[in-house]
């Protein structure tokens, strides 16, 4: 639940425009500042990680939350290409009705925050001597909580009815939880953060297992020299 699941008619055009312009500016900056060799050498990995994110996001967890492996993506292809990967994922999700086309920009910014926060926070914690397992798990929790907080903020700024957002995400995951049509913003925020904290714990454990496997088998797949 780290991004908006809403139809196009619920989002103010000003917010939609801001999301797209900011996202395209960031992507443009990334393309300009990234060496062509780096882009070329990581195209295959970018495609693989995008596909992997789409796959895990379709796995039901029994709660209105899904894995997205954004932190793992950042550790494999870096935050810049990770941001582009998330943009592609959101385009595909919107095309298949997971969220409106107008929400793609904002959703990319919300989810994209995870790759930058995750990559640099993890790097910082490593420099402080924290074991990579603790550093990575802490990073996943904080990055997902921050991105969820950004999503909650967008809902508040946009004046979007919280019940629409919650129920939309709820139905996407096959749940039948009744929160009431008059779900308050504060209750919505508490619900989202509680769910994300629980879901982020699952995601953190999954990423730990995957990263530990790569460290033993193919450490060269991980940035930072396999830690």
CATH number for the domain spanning 57: value is: 1.10.1760.20
1 found inside a domain: no
Is residue 208 domain-resident?
yes
Look at residue 179 in the predicted model and tell me its pLDDT.
44
- Split into its structural domains, the chain has a count of 1
Could you give the CA distance from residue 199 to residue 1 in angstroms, rounded to a whole number?
9
Show the low-confidence residues of the chain (pLDDT under 70): 1-2, 97-99, 164, 166-182, 224-227
Evaluate whether residue 149 is within a structural domain: yes
Q: Give the pLDDT confidence score for residue 24 in this predicted structure.
A: 97
Q: Can you give the pLDDT at residue 210?
A: 95
- 5/213 Cα distance (integer angstroms): 33
At 130 the pLDDT is 93
What is the predicted pLDDT for the residue at 161? 78
113 burial via Cβ count (<10 Å: 0-12, 13-18, 19+)? buried
Burial of 92 (0-12, 13-18, 19+ CB in 10 A): middle
Cα 142 from Cα 59, distance rounded (Å): 22
**Within a domain: residue 100?**
yes
Q: Is 81 helix (H, G, I), strand (E, B) or coil?
A: helix
Domain with 64 in it: 8-226
212 found inside a domain: yes
Model pLDDT, residue 170: 52
Residue 78 CB: number of other CB atoms within 10 A?
20
Residues in Cβ contact with 133 at an 8 Å cutoff, skipping those fewer than 6 apart: 208, 212
- Residue 3 falls within a domain, yes or no? no
């Amino acid at each position: 639940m780290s991004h908006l699941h809403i139809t196009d008619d619920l989002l103010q055009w000003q917010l939609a425009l801001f999301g797209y312009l900011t996202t395209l500016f960031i992507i443009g900056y990334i393309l300009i500042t990234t060496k062509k060799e780096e882009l070329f050498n990581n195209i295959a990995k970018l495609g693989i990680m995008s596909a992997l994110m789409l796959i895990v996001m379709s796995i039901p967890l029994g709660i209105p939350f899904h894995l997205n492996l954004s932190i793992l993506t950042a550790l494999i292809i870096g935050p810049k290409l990770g941001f582009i990967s998330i943009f592609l994922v959101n385009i595909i999700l919107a095309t298949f009705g997971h969220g409106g086309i107008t929400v793609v920009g904002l959703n990319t910014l919300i989810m994209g925050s995870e790759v930058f926060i995750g990559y640099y926070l993890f790097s910082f914690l490593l420099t402080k001597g924290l074991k990579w397992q603790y550093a990575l798990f802490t990073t996943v929790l904080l990055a997902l909580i921050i991105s969820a907080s950004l999503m909650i903020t967008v809902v508040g700024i946009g004046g979007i009815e919280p019940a629409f957002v919650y129920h939309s995400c709820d139905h996407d995951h096959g749940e039948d939880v009744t929160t009431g049509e008059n779900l308050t913003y504060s209750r919505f925020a508490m619900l989202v953060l509680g769910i994300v904290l629980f879901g982020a714990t699952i995601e953190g454990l999954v990423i730990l297992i995957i990263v530990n496997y790569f460290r033993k088998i193919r450490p060269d797949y991980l940035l930072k020299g396999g830690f």
